[in-house]
Amino acid sequence: MATFGTLSDRLTETFRNLRTKGKLTPADVDGTVREIRRALLDADVALQVVKDFTGKVRERALGDEVNKALNPAQQVVQIVNEELVGILGGEQRRLEFAKTPPTVIMLAGLQGSGKTTFAGKLAKQLEGDGHTPLLVAADLQRPNAVNQLQVVAERAGATIFAPEPGNGVGDPIRVSKDGVEYARRHQHDVVIIDTAGRLGVDAELMKQASDIRKATSPDEVLFVIDAMIGQDAVNTAKAFQEGVDFTGVVLSKLDGDARGGAALSVASVTGRPIIFASTGENLEDLEPFHPDRMASRILDLGDILTLIEQAQQAFDEEEAMKMAEKLANEAFTLEDFLDQLQQMKKMGSMKKMLGMLPGMGQMKQQLEDFDEREIDRTEAIIRSMTPGERRNPKVLNGSRRLRIAKGSGMTVTDVNQLVQRFEQAAKMMKTVARGGTPQIPGMGPMGKPGASAKRGKKGGKGKSGGSRSGNPAKRAAENAGVATANANPTGTGFGLGQKAPSEADLAEIQKLFGKS
């Protein structure tokens, strides 16, 4: 996650230095705690939070749970992870809905914190969960705030209640009350009230927010805070807690490049849970906040559970069964490949998905270089084919490939590479469908531990276990693959037994979409 990138790098480097130590001395623990303290302070985490956090880590790291551990460095990482989960709120907290609809959700925060955009994101997510949300335009002060909410509501497919034009005209308290009554009459089970903000905390802002709360009796008051505002995040959160007393926090703009560590302090300082995290500009870029998963991302341990959940939302189970049947019958075509690409696009950014894998923080440059537009280019090439060509790529002769290249705005070489990569992917999928273990070029054999070593012994008398193919080019390529597999280290930087994708892995994923 971009906002916590620097903090993640510093902590990962600190733990990497512990790997070589079989036993940790008090000096080692003090040095590690000192580096953690510096990393947190540099990331703008509140001073009191840093003191409490490092104090707990030091006390536990010097205790018996580390001294008696088989892998002390790994145990320290576990301690830091658990304490980080603690300052992020401990357990996940979901929205609480009223027993008698409508559930009223009031949004509060400074101007520019992302309240209006979050209102649209929340409405879209609630729509997907079967609710009928109503957006209430109670920000009547900021220029064009009502128009912005109307645009967001239209994109989200949600109903909006906006009786006043805004731009300084209208009573926000009256609009909020009328919005709740409108929702009750028109069977909307959730009301989301978008209130006004200010450039800074002032008495007028707090009075208006407090009056809206008294008039509507909201079930949830969500404080939306910009993760990029630095140390002022804590002071702003305290001011809103005293003036409005919110029930939950929303972290916005977590895709930014600021240090963002002050946002980590909010839950600890206010005692209010973080409920949502906004991770992008699209309406789909909203995640329920899981403290344990966020801690894992910060420590570069990955977030496999969120990745699985996104895949489950994007992939249709019935379609998946049909695809499995096609693979088993060796009937996988370019049309099916196109369907799979489109389902992958529904999951969101490929970079974000890869970033959720353990150890990917060590490969930031490779992730940055990963070109997601290759999926669009691949899709353009396949769409330029006739249905018969998609079902049977073997009919693609030179003239057909030239026509496809011109139709998609690509080159014949691009078309040739796509066909070649598709054939490789189809071959691997068939192998998996038959219960075999595929081998990806440049990545070595995949499968059970020790399988490659056994094959190497059976394959020939050579000590190196290299290829004995009669084709010199093929032999060189296969030997290079074996060398790459042997050279790849296992485990992450702090020895948790999880393997990060290598540069070759990322290259292969990129190639599957069209270009090498």
pLDDT digits (tens, 9 = 90+) for 25-48: 888 888 888 888 888 888 778 888
Percent of the chain with pLDDT over 70: 66
Q: Has residue 350 got a pLDDT over 60?
A: yes
> Does an H or E element contain 286, and which?
strand 286-288
- Terminal alpha carbon distance of the chain: 27
pLDDT at 516: 46
The Cα–Cα gap between 63 and 47 comes to 24
Find the mean pLDDT for residues 4-11.
Answer: 71
Sheet holding 159-161, edge to edge: 159-161, 133-137, 190-194, 103-108, 220-226, 248-252, 274-278, 286-288
Preceding peptide of 102 cis, ω within 30°:
yes
Helix (H, G, I), strand (E, B) or coil at 14: helix
Query: Residue 224 forms beta bridges with which residues?
Result: 250
Our measurement of the distance from residue 37's CA atom to the centroid of its chain's CA atoms, rounded to an integer in Å, reads 26
pLDDT at 460: 43
pLDDT digits (tens, 9 = 90+) for 417-436: 888 888 877 777 666 666 65
Residue that has been written with the tokens 């709740």 in this structure: 180
The counts of H helices and E strands in the chain are 24, 10
Measured at the alpha carbon of residue 242, what is the angle toward residues 240 and 248, in degrees to the nearest 5?
55
The Cα–Cα gap between 20 and 229 comes to 38
pLDDT digits (tens, 9 = 90+) for 208-248: 899 999 999 999 999 998 877 767 778 888 888 888 889 99
pLDDT digits (tens, 9 = 90+) for 118-142: 999 999 999 989 999 999 999 998 8
CB hemisphere CA count around 303 (13 angstroms) = 24
- Count of CB atoms within 10 A of residue 474's CB? 11
Q: Has residue 457 got a pLDDT over 60?
A: no
Strands (DSSP E) contained in 80-200 are 103-108, 133-137, 159-161, 190-194
Q: Has residue 477 got a pLDDT over 60?
A: no
pTM: 0.62
- Core vs surface per residue 401-422: b (16+ CB within 10 A) or e: bebbbeebebeeebbebbbebb
DSSP states along 192-234: EEE----SS--HHHHHHHHHHHHHH--SEEEEEEETTSTTHHH
Find the mean pLDDT for residues 149-167.
Answer: 92
Residue that has been written with the tokens 């690409």 in this structure: 341
